Structures are given as C-alpha cells and as structure tokens.
Amino acid sequence: MSHHSWDPERYLTYADERGRPFLDLVARIDATDPQRVVDLGCGPGNLTAILANRWPDADVEGLDSSAEMIEKANAQQVPGIRFEVADLRSWQPMHQVDVLVSNATLQWVPGHLDLLSSLVTRVAPGGWFAFQVPGNFAEPSHVLLHELAADRRFSPHVAGVARPAAHDPQVYLDALLELGCRVDVWETTYLHLLHGDDPVFTWISGTGARPTLQALPDELRDEFVAEYKQLLRDAYVAGPHGTVLPFRRVFAVAQVPA
Ligand SMILES: C[S@@+](CC[C@H](N)C(=O)[O-])C[C@H]1O[C@@H](n2cnc3c(N)ncnc32)[C@H](O)[C@@H]1O
C-alpha cells in the first residue's frame, strides 16, 4: 500500500461534525475512575482532550502513526496528556489500560477485525474498549471517488492506495462477544448540514479521498478534482439551508470481563 500523509488543518475543517460521534461513543463508557486511558489513532488530539476532561485524574495518552498529526496534537499543549507517534498494530503498553478508545481510525487498518483480540488483551479486566468506524463506504462520496479513480487516465497512478473499509455492526458484535466481552453495538446516521462551495469535497478530501488525491501527479490532480467536484455537486445537491451529507457510523463499546 502506498504511503500517504495527513493534513491536520484540513482534517479539522469540520471538527464539530467529526467530533459528534466521539462524544456519542464515550458517553457509553461507564468507567468511573480509570487510571490509564489511551486514544489510539488520536489524530490532532482535540478529541483526546475530552477524555482528559472526563477523567481528570487519569493518565491519558494519545497515539497516532502520523507524525503530522502528533506534531499538531503536541502544539496544543493540553495539560495531562502525552502524545506520541505509534502504530496501533504493534502497540504494546507497559501496563494494561482501563479505557481504550479508537475513533474513526480502525477503518484505515486493513484486516482490523483480526486485531480486536489483541487489542482486548491490552485492556485491564473490567476495563473498556470503545471504537467507532464509518459505515458509509457505499455512499456516493466513496463510490464516485473509486469509479473516477478507475478511469484509465488515473488508474495507473492510484493502484494500491490506502482505501478505508469497515464492517457492519453485527460483525463487530459477534467478534467482541466471542472474545467474552459485554458489548454494546449500534449505528447512527448523522445528517451533517455543510456550507460553502464544494463542502462534500472539502470533507472527504481531508480523509477518505486524501490517499487518492496525493497519489495523482500534479498535472492530473486538477483534472481529477474538477471532475470529482462536479460529480459530488450532482450527487449532493445544495439546498437553501446547505448541503446534506448523510454519514452512517458504526459504534462498539465492549467491557472486558473482570
Ligand atoms: C480520521 S483520523 C481520526 C482522528 C481522531 N481519532 C478523530 O476522531 O478525529 C484517522 C487517524 O488514524 C491514524 N491511523 C491510521 N492508521 C493507524 C495505525 N496503524 N496506527 C495508529 N494510527 C493510525 C491516522 O494517522 C489518523 O490520524
């Protein structure tokens, strides 16, 4: 898979909308006095701060494989949180953690379902493992991206780029129950009301479309972007109050057996 980088500023354009599922996720974690809290794939760290606010006595750590994201997170200087570059696939904490959160990250890790068992072993008995992944890969925003990228003008350049993917809620429910956890799984479709020109492009170019856009040579990228924007405008027609982006998300909160 080709390497791509993150642009924290672009990602934060819709910080409020992107933050909502995080709040809904952590609201279902019933930990009262955790000592160790980890945010895996913390991104720019703005949401990790919510964990530190919720559990002010906890040792909170944010980990992410992107140096750009960790640099941004560290620049915020949130007291009580350590941010470090780490890949969740090889992450080995010194001590088991009491709360492990991973928001909008596991979809970037191919085969992440097979990782759930090892992630659960990183959680202390009675502790919590909570994650959220998008469930919108069949939506026009993604389908149009992949159809356009398959065009022979672009396809030689984008073969092998990272393509986020996730499972339906039942798959996570079954996997976590199989691991002996007490499990709460659900899905929510948010209707994000976006404003400005090409807001769906702005949204997806900060995340799902970024690897494709980065893989294209400069001389082809403008052509791709112009066509993709038009396709998105046709698929998500701007109304008098803005452009509606339906966004389905899948949530799982598991309590590890005591
Ligand atoms: C969509 S962002 C989510 C950031 C943050 N959790 C949030 O909800 O705003 C996905 C993050 O996952 C990180 N990521 C992807 N693969 C990873 C891996 N294998 N290990 C750690 N972080 C990873 C990316 O660097 C990126 O910051």
Nearest CA to ligand 1 atom 13: 41
pLDDT in tens, the chain (258 residues): 456 787 877 777 788 888 999 999 999 999 999 999 999 999 999 999 999 999 999 999 999 999 999 999 999 877 889 999 999 999 999 999 999 999 999 999 999 999 999 999 999 999 999 999 999 999 999 999 999 999 999 999 998 898 899 999 999 999 999 999 999 999 999 999 999 999 999 999 988 899 999 999 999 999 999 999 999 999 999 999 999 999 999 999 999 999
Nearest CA to ligand 1 atom 25: 66
| Residue 105 CA, ligand 1 centroid: distance in Å | 4
Element (H, E) at 190: strand 182-194
User: At a CB cut-off of 8 Å and minimum separation 6, what does 94 contact?
Assistant: none
Question: What is the C-alpha separation between 257 and 18, in angstroms, rounded?
Answer: 31
Question: What is the C-alpha separation between 32 and 27, in angstroms, rounded?
Answer: 12
Domain boundaries, the chain: 8-255
Helix (H, G, I), strand (E, B), or coil: what is residue 252?
strand
Which of 1.20.1250.20, 3.30.540.10, 3.40.50.150, 3.30.465.10 is the CATH number of 8-255?
A: 3.40.50.150
Choice from 50, 105, 207 to test ligand 1 binding pocket (greatest atom count within 8 A of CB): 105
